Amino acid sequence: MASKTSRLPGRHLVVVILACVVITTGCQSKPKRYNLRGQVVAKDAAANTLTVKHDDIPGFMSAMTMAYPVKDAGSLQVVEPGDIITAVVVTANQGMDYWLENVRVVDRSGRQPARTNTSPPDSR
């Protein structure tokens, strides 16, 4: 017959494992959202990113220029360098993952015009 003391380490192990699961689950925070306003500097449709020169994002970061992933590929189709946009920066995994959502163009007046070659052909 096994004594009660020989079963205790197994019970303690179960309690420790359960405590670790609860603690780990509690550390996974919900995604946070921050409002962004800035000017698109570059667009990389292949990588689904926008590089934005943005204003301060209160509670998140100072004004700077950085690339952001955009999960909605449709947003990339309507945005061009020079556009002023608003968007929501979503952060997850304690800020290790981030992306833009709800990208909206609010001013297109800074768009870079398409470059066309208007000089006459070289007649050499």
Per-domain residue ranges for the chain?
A: 32-107
pLDDT tier at 119 (50, 70, 90 boundaries)?
low
CA distance 19 to 99: 32
With a cut of 60, say whether residue 20 has pLDDT above it: no
| Residue of 117, 90, 75, 97 whose CA lies nearest to 35 | 90
Say how far apart CA 63 and CA 45 lie, in whole Å. 24
Interval 60-70: pLDDT, tens:
999 999 999 99
Is the pLDDT score of 23 beyond 90? no
Question: What CATH number does domain 32-107 carry, 1.10.30.50, 1.10.3720.10, 2.60.120.260, 2.40.50.320?
Answer: 2.40.50.320
Report whether pLDDT(107) > 50: yes
Q: Is the pTM of this model over 0.85?
A: no
40 closest CA partner among 59, 15, 57, 65: 65
